[in-house]
Structure 1
Amino acid sequence: MTSLDQLTNLFHMTDQVWSRHANPWSVWTRYGALPLLIGAIWSRVWWGWFALLPTLLVILWIWLNPRMFPKPKTTRQWASKAVIGERIWLNQKQVPIPRHHRPVIAVTNTVNAIGFGICLWGLWSLHPYLTLMGLSWVILGKTWFLDRMVWLCDEMSDRCPQYQEWLY
């Protein structure tokens, strides 16, 4: 089992959860979760161990978020297609994705990973510029990744009947 499979299992993303996560409100409110998490972790400077409470609350929100919103009326908008594309990407063992997407996805994930590392170092050392720079890279990498997932969704929905059903 890959680390990606383990992460998917941790979030317990069922078909129903995926369909709710395709709601644009779920996608856009998740964007705010990382800055909130960083603020909660940074609050250890003022609150000490009590900073665990807001940190755990944000982590709970990240887990609850895909379950909180209703299934969208349509999945034909950018945010919904990004979620569907992510689902297609995760399903690539069963239905291979076109090769031309792989290098770009690898680059977006690399940008995200580098940003995450910089952000963690900034949080550890309490260096605000490193933290914000890392956060910027994570958001850039994630947004670029999601944009590629929209492209993947558009391309793959015509090739697989199951994926076509996810678009309505």
Structure 2
Amino acid sequence: MKYESLLKEATYSGIDVYEEPLKGKIQGLYGNNVIWINKFLPTYTDKYCILAEELGHYHKTVGNIQDQTKLTNRKQEQVARSWAYERTIPLHKFVQAHRENIKNRFELSEFLGVTENFLEEALTRYKERYGVAVDLDEHTIYFEPLGVIKWFQKNF
């Protein structure tokens, strides 16, 4: 379901998405308003995560950044991935998972509809951006150790 919603978002943005066999370890590519997803990815969850990242390239990167030995290309790759993390795992989803009594990272990745690896990379990026924790409304989201705390109401 989530993969299909990103496919619709891509179509709405004027991007064609094709599932094709891709060579080597390439899981996805973006160029000239076309996204290619490796058709041999094992699950829709894998395809969802890759499609999110490739949409991040559409929204946030410029030019050919395949040569990751260049610092500017690595930075653009990080920007595209950050967009994908924020699009698929916005901070309020951690609070929602806490309310649903999600107990571990496996359950959390299932709840969010992402791979465990994608979740780990997102958590690493959020720690780089916010530090160990970030406040959201009446909650504090901790990235290490992973958890959410709900605070008492401030006006009592």
Class of the TM-score when normalised by the shorter of the 2 chains: under 0.3
Higher relative contact order (CA 8 A, sep 6+): 1
Structure whose residues are more often strand by fraction: 2
Structure whose residues are more often helix by fraction: 1
TM-score by length of 2: 0.25
TM-score by length of 1: 0.24
